[in-house]
């Protein structure tokens, strides 16, 4: 029996090595056949797909589309299913919006990159066109910002109850709050598990112009989109969305382009703020946490459409969990209630402040990992127990909540929550590095079959909803080659 087991293990190892060798040979052959791919590569580690892209905008796009073609096809199907189901609109509606509302306002550099992605996926046999790719890039802002605005403009009868989402938990700290008095920044991405289990790409981008970028991201999208990244000029960024935000400027520039451009070209906090505000269309309105490792300064930009207040400090912290901070933003641009302590954004705000204040002087990346994995519900006051995460915990598990999240239009037991986490500090950012964990930051797994058996109301997701297994905390850096 022992010999048989050894033979099986040996056979498995041989098969794994053969498959890996075949992949390497295929990638080498692709690069030899197409010089646009020679500087690009991909590998798997810790549940993530790491992709290195380098060159002109068109080349970066082509590399992105070609190397991630299977993931882009799969992710496109998931986004198409979700957006058409939730909005009641056909995919053609989103394509038309991409062509008419977004494409004319995209800078030439990023038009070339989007066309390159289209060319790359098509070269790999995936039948998507340019406006499919543009709509995919705008999957956050078209359904939840543009469409509600359009329904109001057209005075649509009985429109779907679409609301700006409230995704993510984050913090940034510096000065006396951190162990080395430099910056620590962390973020976990809250979204549907349908999208979130696919939000596991690490992009290392060396553009022809601007700064090198290391960020997490979604297949086929030119920006991080849950927005965590560092650049070679020392800028460190993340964000969380502003709950129940309302507003859209049809003449503005898409948020997905502005956020990519800001990370690519900013050399200072002022640069980042200026670029992200330029052409602000109100789409995907976020609270931005920004750090500059060169100066140790951090900032909090509340990017509404009418109001854009900015706070800065070299000794302090900001937590963010989808609550608007500025009274004018709350009053003029949202329907959010800052006094309802049972709401997910407010409960996480309370817990975030509590954790950071208790850890003052000891905040580091290890603390950040604990912060992103925390299950305490500050409203239910379950800290003395071994708590189960829910919609009010920093590590969100809405799929177990009988309340759902009314502010976002998430029904009870909605299959969504924290789908991955990332963290870094100034020392890591100097090496263009961060840690990341795929799946729930707490390490728990989501199992699709057992969930759907309990909650058949979500069976419409069954064709594409998969298990979301948590990976280990894994360190990534720019220029990494394989699982180093």
Residues 401-444 have pLDDT tens digits of 999 999 999 999 999 999 999 999 999 999 999 999 999 999 99
Q: Is residue 366 part of a domain?
A: yes
- Average pLDDT rounded to a whole number, residues 115-122: 98
Q: Is residue 259 part of a domain?
A: yes
- Average pLDDT rounded to a whole number, residues 284-294: 97
- Average pLDDT rounded to a whole number, residues 302-315: 98
**What is the model's pLDDT at position 158?**
63
Between CA 178 and CA 181, with CA 180 as vertex, the angle to 5 degrees is 60
Q: Is residue 9 part of a domain?
A: no
213 lies in the same domain as 279: yes
Q: Does position 20 have pLDDT exceeding 50, yes or no?
A: no
* 8 A C-beta contact, residue 302 and residue 267: no
Q: Does position 165 have pLDDT exceeding 90, yes or no?
A: no
345 lies in the same domain as 374: yes
Closest CA to 184 of 370, 438, 383, 439: 370
218 lies in the same domain as 96: no
Q: Is residue 29 part of a domain?
A: no
337 lies in the same domain as 251: yes
Q: What's the total number of domains in the chain?
A: 2
Q: Does position 321 have pLDDT exceeding 70, yes or no?
A: yes
CATH number of the domain encompassing residue 129:
1.10.439.10
- Average pLDDT rounded to a whole number, residues 312-329: 97
142 lies in the same domain as 269: no
**What is the model's pLDDT at position 30?**
63
355 lies in the same domain as 405: yes
Q: Does position 142 have pLDDT exceeding 80, yes or no?
A: yes
- Which tokens belong to 457? 């109301």
Distance, in Å, from the CA atom of 241 to the CA atom of 198, rounded to the nearest integer, reads 20
Find the domain containing 305 and state its range: 169-477
Mean pLDDT of the chain: 92
Q: Is residue 291 part of a domain?
A: yes
Distance, in Å, from the CA atom of 78 to the CA atom of 59, rounded to the nearest integer, reads 26
**What is the model's pLDDT at position 156?**
78
Q: Does position 12 have pLDDT exceeding 90, yes or no?
A: no
Domain final position from 154, 184, 218: 154
Q: Is residue 22 part of a domain?
A: no
Distance, in Å, from the CA atom of 236 to the CA atom of 233, rounded to the nearest integer, reads 9
142 lies in the same domain as 275: no
Q: Is residue 18 part of a domain?
A: no
Q: Does position 47 have pLDDT exceeding 80, yes or no?
A: yes
Question: Predicted confidence band at 3 (pLDDT cuts at 50, 70, 90)?
Answer: very low
**What is the model's pLDDT at position 7?**
36
Helix, strand, or coil (residue 437) = strand
**What is the model's pLDDT at position 482?**
81
Query: Bigger pLDDT: 17 or 56?
Result: 56
Q: What is the pTM of this model?
A: 0.92
Our measurement of the distance from residue 383's CA atom to the centroid of its chain's CA atoms, rounded to an integer in Å, reads: 28
**What is the model's pLDDT at position 164?**
75
- Average pLDDT rounded to a whole number, residues 280-293: 97
Conformation bin of residue 381: beta by default, left when phi > 0, alpha when psi is -120 to 50: left
427 lies in the same domain as 377: yes
Question: Predicted confidence band at 162 (pLDDT cuts at 50, 70, 90)?
Answer: low
**What is the model's pLDDT at position 161?**
66
**What is the model's pLDDT at position 387?**
86
Question: Predicted confidence band at 159 (pLDDT cuts at 50, 70, 90)?
Answer: low
Q: Does position 29 have pLDDT exceeding 90, yes or no?
A: no
Question: Predicted confidence band at 139 (pLDDT cuts at 50, 70, 90)?
Answer: very high
**What is the model's pLDDT at position 88?**
93
* Furthest C-alpha separation in the chain: 73
Q: Is residue 31 part of a domain?
A: no
235 lies in the same domain as 130: no
* Beta bridge mates, 238: 228, 289
CATH number of the domain encompassing residue 203:
3.60.60.20
Distance, in Å, from the CA atom of 7 to the CA atom of 145, rounded to the nearest integer, reads 57
**What is the model's pLDDT at position 2?**
32
Domain final position from 128, 154, 180: 154
Domain final position from 124, 154, 184: 154
Percent pLDDT > 70 in the chain is 92
Distance, in Å, from the CA atom of 2 to the CA atom of 432, rounded to the nearest integer, reads 46
290 lies in the same domain as 183: yes
458 lies in the same domain as 372: yes
- Which tokens belong to 432? 């263009």
124 lies in the same domain as 184: no
């Amino acid at each position: 029996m022992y010999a048989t087991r050894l033979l099986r293990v040996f056979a498995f190892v041989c098969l794994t090595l053969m498959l890996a060798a075949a992949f390497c040979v295929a990638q080498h052959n692709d690069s030899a056949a197409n010089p646009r791919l020679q500087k690009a590569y991909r590998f798997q580690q810790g549940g993530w797909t790491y992709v290195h892209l380098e060159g002109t905008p068109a080349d970066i796009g082509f590399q992105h589309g070609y190397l991630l073609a299977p993931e882009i096809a799969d992710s496109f199907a998931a986004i198409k299913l979700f957006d058409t189901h939730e909005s009641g609109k056909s995919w053609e509606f989103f394509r038309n919006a991409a062509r008419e509302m977004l494409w004319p306002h995209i800078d030439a550099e990023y038009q070339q990159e989007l066309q390159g992605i289209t060319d790359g996926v098509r070269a790999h046999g995936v039948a998507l066109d340019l406006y499919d790719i543009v709509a995919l890039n705008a999957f956050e802002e078209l359904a939840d910002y543009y469409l509600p605005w359009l329904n109001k403009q057209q005075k649509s009868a009985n429109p779907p109850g679409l609301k700006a989402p409230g995704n993510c938990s984050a913090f940034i700290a510096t000065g006396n709050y951190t162990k080395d008095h430099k910056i620590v920044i962390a973020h976990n991405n809250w979204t549907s598990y349908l999208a979130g289990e696919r939000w596991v790409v690490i992009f290392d981008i060396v553009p022809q112009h601007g700064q090198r970028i290391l960020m997490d991201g979604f297949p086929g999208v030119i920006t991080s989109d849950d927005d965590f990244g560092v650049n070679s000029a020392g800028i460190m960024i993340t964000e969380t969305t502003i709950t129940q935000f309302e507003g859209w400027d049809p003449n503005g520039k898409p948020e997905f382009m502005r956020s990519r451009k800001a990370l690519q070209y900013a050399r200072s906090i002022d640069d980042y703020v200026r670029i992200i505000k330029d052409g602000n269309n109100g789409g995907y309105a976020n609270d931005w946490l920004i750090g500059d490792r060169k100066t140790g300064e951090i900032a909090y930009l509340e990017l509404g459409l009418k109001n854009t207040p900015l706070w800065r400090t070299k000794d302090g912290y900001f937590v963010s969990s989808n609550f608007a901070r500025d009274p004018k933003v709350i009053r003029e641009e949202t329907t959010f209630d800052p006094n309802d302590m049972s709401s997910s954004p407010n409960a996480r705000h309370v817990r975030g402040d509590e954790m950071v204040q208790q850890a003052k002087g000891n905040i580091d990346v290890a603390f950040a990992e604990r912060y992103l994995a925390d299950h305490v519900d500050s409203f239910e006051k379950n800290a003395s127990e071994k708590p189960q995460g829910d919609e009010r915990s920093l590590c969100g598990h809405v799929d177990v909540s009988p309340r759902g999240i009314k502010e976002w239009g998430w029904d009870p037991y909605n299959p969504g929550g924290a789908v991955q986490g990332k963290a870094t500090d100034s020392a890591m950012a100097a090496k263009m590095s961060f840690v990341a964990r795929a799946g729930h930051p707490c390490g728990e797994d989501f199992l699709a079959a057992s969930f759907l058996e309990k909650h058949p109301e979500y069976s419409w997701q069954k064709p594409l909803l998969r298990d979301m297994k948590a990976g280990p905390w894994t360190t990534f850096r720019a220029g990494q080659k394989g699982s180093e």
